[in-house]
Amino acid sequence: MSEIIGLMKERAAQCAEEIRKHSSIHVVSHIDADGLTSAGIICTALDRMGTDYSTRFVKQLDDTIIAELAEQDHELVIFTDLGSGMLESIRSHAINAIVADHHQPRGEMQNHLNPHLFGANGSYELSGSGTTYILANALGDNRDLADLAIVGAMGDLQHMKKGYLTGINRLILEEGASSNVLKFEKDITLFGKQTRPVFKLLQFASDPYIPGLTGSEDACIEFLHKQGIRFSGDERWRRWIDLEKDEKQKVVSGLVQYCLNAGLASYKIERLIGEVYILLKEGEGTEMRDASEYSTLLNATARYDHADIGLAVCMGDRGDEYDQACKLLAEHRKNLVDGLMFVKEQGLTKLKNLQYFDAGSSIRETIVGIIAGMSTSITNDRSLPIIAFANTDDGIKVSARGTQDLIRKGLNLSEAMSKISAEVGGAGGGHDIAAGATIPIVAKDEFIGKLDAMIGMQIRKQI
């Protein structure tokens, strides 16, 4: 891994030389947490250099957006957390660009920084924000931004393969710990340890989905009473961080036993405990203290058309923009639970090589991919990838999620989604384990049939 990071730093230095030649730069990034932290990292680095910049956030990079950028005639465009799948289009439009991405590359370009080019896997060994962090450190000493890189990695679920961050992500994590901006430890992995009352931690549990507890406030309170947990102290509800060590152990032991009695699969129960990442510059009890909560806060901004708010938070705003982000977060968490309940009630349609649900307009297209990933908690069949459809203004958004077991069998959703979406007049790409596409409305049936066949070919070919 040291050789890979060395080669990436060499390429980053080359990209940094190009950046220093320009006094004005346009940053284009993705709308998820990894994209926002990527933008936050590079914009902070440019700020520190005294370089002017502008920003744009997009759901998906396509030829139309690239053509618009070409017409705007920017001195230099830096693409973060996207661009690797559109290298030929960027070149053909003669855009002077740097791409700092971690998705599977298609095509070639000189100033292209991507872990796949050097033998690392961008699905779990380095995120878009981590790639941009390497670039930022080629511009100056920006090691204090390691915490943002870890937030982006968590938002991109880079920890899911082993339950903790690995690869180059691990090196960045250790660098952040050495710089005293991060620490990591074992803890319960449910969302809201810093901010939610303990019963809410269980009520809104979605990964894993806990039958009988998720969605039921009364059941969660009763469960905690049975564990002998005292609820309120100093006239307020206690959070996970307020509990004593022995109280936490009681809750975890009781929760494991509850899940076993409920018939929850062992791999789901194991996800209850894992490595968590604490941001030491942030105040205890705030959404930014925990990397997972921070990433969800960011998802609640750009995915609801407020990328400017998310970027401001990444760059240090803890006033009005942060308050607005917290309001958006409350709405986002409700939408995720509602979306998961929608899938649970509607069920998944199974084909030979995949399973899917069509949300129509019931789930926002910017979060349907998150719901697809969470849906693995409510399906008993992990032998098939999950495909999700949601309506958009210009077609249908498709999100695909697989598992590490399926990847080992030959599944490559990036390849499948890119190829099949192009065949039906759309566009797509991403990672082997998670990918997305946009397709015409009339092409849905053709798309799902062809995708089912190609996924079957991928897995049979490996076998």
Encode the chain (463 residues) as per-residue pLDDT tens digits: 889 999 999 999 999 999 999 999 999 999 999 999 999 999 999 999 999 999 999 988 999 999 999 999 999 999 999 999 999 999 999 999 999 999 989 899 999 999 999 999 998 999 999 999 999 999 999 999 999 999 999 999 899 888 899 999 999 999 999 999 999 999 998 888 998 899 988 987 866 778 889 878 899 999 999 999 876 655 567 899 999 999 999 999 999 999 999 888 887 788 889 899 999 999 999 989 999 999 999 999 988 999 999 999 999 999 999 999 999 998 988 898 899 889 989 999 999 999 999 999 999 999 999 999 888 767 767 789 999 999 998 899 999 999 878 988 999 999 999 999 999 999 998 888 899 999 999 999 999 999 999 999 999 875 5
H-only helix segments in 21-62:
33-49
Q: 301-326 as b/e, with b when 16 or more CB fall inside 10 Å?
A: bbbbebbebbbbbbeebeeebbebbe
Let me know if the fold of 2-178 is the same as that of 347-462: no
Gap between the Cα atoms of 414 and 404, Å rounded: 14
Which residues, 6+ apart, have CB-to-CB distance to 196 below 8 Å? 204, 239, 240
CATH of domain 2-178: 3.90.1640.30
Cα-Cα-Cα-Cα dihedral sign, residues 454, 99, 153, 194: negative
Note the CATH number of domain 347-462: 3.10.310.40
Q: Where are the domains of the chain?
A: 2-178, 198-306+333-340, 347-462
Beta bridge partners of 188: 273
C-beta separation of 106 from 429 below 8 A: yes
- Give the list of residues 6+ apart from residue 5 with CB closer than 8 angstroms, or none: 134, 168, 171
Q: Give this prediction's pTM.
A: 0.84
Supply the DSSP string of 164-210, one letter for each residue: S--HHHHHHHHHHHHTTSEEEEEEE--TTTTTSBHHHHHHT--TT--
